[in-house]
Structure 1
Amino acid sequence: MKRKLWLGAGLSAAASALAGIAAYAAHRLSGPTAALKRETLFAFTPFETGVDWEEVRFNSVDGLQIRAWWLGRPESKRVVIGCHGHRGRKDELLGIGSGLWRAGMNVLIFDFRGRGESDDSICSLAYHEVGDLHGAIKYVEARLPEAQIGVIGYSMGAAVSLLGSADQPAVKAVVADSSFAEMANLVDFALANRRLPPRPLRALADQITAQRYGYRFEAVRPIEALIRYGQRPLLVIHCTGDTVIPVVDAYDLYAAAQGPKELWIVEDMPHCGAYFADRPAYVKRVAEFFERYL
C-alpha cells in the first residue's frame, strides 16, 4: 500500500514538474513584455553610424504604436525593411541598415511590439509580430507609393519576414538570416538540447501558449508560407555553428523556395553570426541581392 502511495506521489510530482517546465517554456517564448523590453536611454542610434535618419512611428495592423527609424535616400525607390530577433530591438540592425543605406537604399528598422520603444503587448515567437511587419509595409507604401520593397530578418525576425511577406505582393524579395522552418520542430530541438522529453513538454507548452498568448505552434510555419510567397526571390543565410536554430532548417527552407533562390552557409559561426564573420562581404552580398531584384 505504501509503495503504491509513493508511486502515485512520484507520478504526481513528475507531472507537476513537466507542467512547470512547459509553462516556463511558454513564458520564454511569449512571456510578459517587461521581460523583453530593455533600457533604451543609452542605446545607439543612427547618429553613431553617420547616416541620414529620422524617428518615425506607425501602427501595427491591430493598432499598436510601433517606433522606427527611417534611413532616407530620396533619390531611390528601393526600400529595405529590417526585422530584429526575438529578444532584440531595432538598434541591433544599425550595422546592416547603415550598410544598405550607403549602398543607396532607403531603410526602415523598427522595434517589434513589446520590445524597445514600441507599445507593450502580448509577444510571441513570430505570430503576433507579423502584424507589426504588415504595419511597416503599409507605412512604406503610404510614404513612397512607388517603393520597391525588400525585407531582411534575423532569427525570429527572419521567420516573420517569410510569414509576413507571403501575402504581401508589395514585397519583392526577402533575405532570411537564421530562420527556423517550423516552430514545433524548433521547440523540440530546444528541449532535446536540454535533455528534456520533447514530445510531452511541447504538447503542454503548446496548450499553455494557446491559452495565455493566443496562438498554437502549428500556426507558425515559415516553410509553409513559402508556398504563398511563390516565385519571388529569396536569400537564405545560416551558420553551421548555430546551436539555437539548426542549420538543417536553412536547407529545408531553401528546398521549399519556388522562385530565384540563393543559399549562403557560413562555416563555424554561431547563431546570426554571418554578418560578424565578414561585415563588408555580408553587406555587399545582401546589397547586391536587393539591387538585383528590387
Structure 2
Amino acid sequence: MKWIILVILILVVVIAALIVYAANFFINVALFRENQWYHTTGHKMMNPDNFNKGRSQYDITEEKQIQLGKEFWEQSYAQDYWLNMEGERLYSRLFQPHPNSKKWVICVHGYRSYGQRDMAFPAFMFSKQGYNSLIPDLRAHGQSSGNVIGMGWLDRLDLLKWIQEVLTIEPQAEIILFGGSMGAATVMMTSGESLPAQVKGIVADCGYSSVYNEFGAMLRSAFKLPAFPILTIADLIARKKVGYSLKEASAVSQLAKNKLPLLLIHGTGDKFVPHQMLYENMEAATGVKESLIIEKAPHLSSFIYEPEHYFDTVFEFLRRYCE
C-alpha cells in the first residue's frame, strides 16, 4: 500500500513539473520576440497556411497586392515617423497623399509581423478613397524596439499615443482604426478606452476574443495539448514575466464598453484564429456592428480571396456610419 501511495505521489509530482514546464515554455515562445524555437519550428506549427504557398489564383493575387503595397510604401509623400515611449523607440510609416483631407486611418499589423508586410496594401486601398494613413510597427515587432509581445493589450496604450500623434498632425482628423489578426485585437481592445471624438469607427479583421482563448486554441491545434491546466499556470507566469494576465487581455471585455461603429471580418478557413471568435466579439459589442464572413479564406487573407467584396464592404460601412 505504501508503495502504491509513493508511486502515485511521484506521478503527481512529475505531472505537475511537466505542466509547469509546458506552461513556461509556451509563454517564452508566445510572448517574447527573441525565441529561436518559434522561428525554426513554432511558426509553422501555429500558422501552417503561411508555409503552404503554391501558384493558385490566390497566390497570384497576393503577389500583385504585395507589389502594389511596396510601390505605395516608397511614394514620395511617405515618411518614417518615430515615437519615444517608456524607454522604447516605436516606428511607424506616415502617408499623406491627400494633404487637405481630414480622413485618416491607422492600420495595425498582426502577430510577429510588421506594418509593411500586413498593411501596405490595405493602406493603399484606403488612399484611393481619400485617406491619409499611419502604419505603426507594434512593440517588439518590425523596426520598433522591445522584446515583450503585448498581444494587443499593451499595444492598446501605444495606439492611444499614435492617435494623439495623428491629431497633432491634423487636429480635425476623422480617424478609422483598422487592424488584422493581433492588430484587430489591438483596435478592439483600444475601443474600450476613452477615445477622442475624432476616432470615428473600427474595422477588425480576424481578431481573437481574448489572449487566453487564442492561446487555448493554439495549444489544442498546434501542440495537441489541453488548455487546462497548462493555461492556468501560464496565466500566472505571464503576470510575473510580462506584466499582464492572459485573461484580462480581452477584446470581449473591451468591446462591451465600445460606442463606435464596428465592422468585424473573418475567413472560415482560418487555422490561426478560429473564425468562431468573430461571433464572440460580435455578441459582446454594443452599438452599431456588422460582420463580413469570407468563405474558405485563411488567416488574414480575406482581402486576397475576395478583394472587391472585401473593400466594397469596408468602404460602404465607413460611408454609412463613420463619415
TM-score (norm 2): 0.81
Structure 2: gaps (5+ residues):
40-65
Aligned to 1:83: 108
Pick aligned residue for 2:265 from 219, 232, 237: 237
- Going from structure 1 to structure 2, the CA distance change for 1:45 and 1:110 (only over 3 Å counts) comes to farther
Q: Are residue 65 (structure 1) and residue 89 (structure 2) matched?
A: yes
CA-to-aligned-CA distance 1:189-211 (integer Å, 9 cap, x gap): 22232331212101010011011
Aligned to 2:58: none
1:82·1:108 contact (CA, 8 Å) conserved in 2? yes
Aligned to 1:40: none
Letter in 1 for 2:225: L
What SS does structure 2 have at the residue aligned with 1:214?
coil
1:79·1:106 contact (CA, 8 Å) conserved in 2? yes
Aligned to 1:96: 122
Letter in 2 for 1:91: Q
Aligned to 1:13: 14
Shift of 1:162: 1.1
Structure 1: gaps (5+ residues):
38-42
Shift of 1:33: 4.8
Letter in 2 for 1:66: L
CA-to-aligned-CA distance 1:111-165 (integer Å, 9 cap, x gap): 0011111122422222211122112101001110000011011111111101113
What SS does structure 2 have at the residue aligned with 1:158?
helix
Shift of 1:176: 0.6
Pick aligned residue for 2:154 from 128, 142, 145: 128
Q: How does 1:144-223 map to 2 (within 5 A)?
A: 144-167=170-193, 168-169=195-196, 170-193=198-221, 194-223=223-252
Q: Are residue 140 (structure 1) and residue 166 (structure 2) matched?
A: yes
How many residues of Structure 1 are paired with residues of Structure 2 in the alignment? 287
1:33·1:123 contact (CA, 8 Å) conserved in 2? no
Aligned to 1:107: 133
1:59·1:65 contact (CA, 8 Å) conserved in 2? yes
2:81·2:94 contact (CA, 8 Å) conserved in 1? yes
Letter in 2 for 1:181: S
Letter in 1 for 2:274: P
Aligned to 1:54: 79
- Going from structure 1 to structure 2, the CA distance change for 1:70 and 1:284 (only over 3 Å counts) comes to farther
Aligned to 1:277: 305
Pick aligned residue for 1:225 from 254, 257, 266: 254
What SS does structure 2 have at the residue aligned with 1:263?
strand
CA distance in 2: counterparts of 1:163 and 1:150, whole angstroms: 14
TM-score (norm 1): 0.89
CA distance in 1: counterparts of 2:162 and 2:67, whole angstroms: 21
Shift of 1:227: 2.4
Letter in 1 for 2:161: G
Aligned to 1:288: 316
CA-to-aligned-CA distance 1:215-268 (integer Å, 9 cap, x gap): 1122111111122212x2100001111122222211121222222221101111
